[in-house]
Structure 1
Amino acid sequence: MTDMALRDLPLPGLRLLTHRTHQDARGRFSRLYCLTWLNQATTPFTVRQINLSQTSRCGSVRGLHYQLPPFSEDKLITCLRGSVWDVAVDVRQDSPTFLKWHAERLEAGDGRSLWLPPGFAHGFQALSDDVELLYLHSADYVPDQEFGLAPGDSRLAISWPLPVVNLSSRDAAHPPLTDAFRGIVV
């Protein structure tokens, strides 16, 4: 077995990256990213930005965020502490899975990372206190090109496992989707 493997998820382009964890009396070691391996296994993905998200309260929801082209980005998300319900929503115009969502439970040390290609909105709910997520991004953050979906939008009908609490004022202000929203072209 190699140190890494990719598995397709129900939404085209969305993938789960698993990495083998080596453990001994000293602790654990996992390879979370390998440019050469990933570029052979999927579309080229060069890391342009690395972010660390810390969420203190269980039930908190962050997201659902995406950037418009040409600033759309691949994201590779790994949970470093605690556990999350990690959600991806397909916002690609003309996609057969447009506005469908998929979620994966990510836990610290579980050897799993979620890979989102351009054209997906991303958010998560903390399933424990003191959650930390590591994000690898293929594009720079461009604040005026970032948009979001309302986490409680009835059209999306995301099954958050816990009551949604502690939304930021920005995330709480995202309006519900209308028929005018056609998605983005990536």
Structure 2
Amino acid sequence: MKILVLASASVLALATPAFAQDDRAGYNDVSYIEQIGSNNKAVAYQNGGTQGSTIEQLGSNDEALNELNGSNNTSVVLQQASAFVGGGNLNENRMVGSNDQNGVVQSGARNTAYTTFDQASSGTSSLITQDGADNAVDYTSIGTNNFSLISQTFDQNGATVVQAGANNVSYLAQDGLANNAGVSQTGMSAFSYVGQTGNGNVATVTQN
């Protein structure tokens, strides 16, 4: 058993080998890392102010990175094995804007989620849930007060969402095998819903 506690942070690693790092240079930042499994890697880096980062990895061979360089941002990542498959999930989250919120839940194996909140991003919320194997999400926020929900169930689905405008809402749900969808919102007050049920579907939405 290995227990690692870093100053001004809460870091818990159970089962070895496990890697956890917390490096903060801001003020009023809060970070919590818990790893229960084996060969997990987690890094939480914050140099802004009043930010919160939570990483929980309950499987094996999972990797998570939360990098918060802005202010008043919150990021929560939960990676856990499902009843059928588990492990090898990857999450990378970078937030350099302000007042943004990010949530990622990965249940399964080899799922990837990349979320980027640009310096121009503010007041935006993103939630990603992946339940299956080999699903991939790439989300980018460059605008303000946008909302995105991406849900992937089953295997090998791919989703890309870019929100560069203001007050936009995007819902994207994939339930099946090898579906692909892309959403781009560069205007204001747009609403998009994409639902893919079955296999091999392709959808593209552009709102400007």
User: TM-score band (shorter)?
Assistant: under 0.3
Structure with more relative contact order (C-alpha pairs < 8 Å, separation 6 or more) = 1
The structure with the largest alpha-carbon Rg is: 2
- With structure 1 as the length reference, what TM-score do the two structures score? 0.27
- With structure 2 as the length reference, what TM-score do the two structures score? 0.25
Greater share of strand residues, 1 or 2? 2
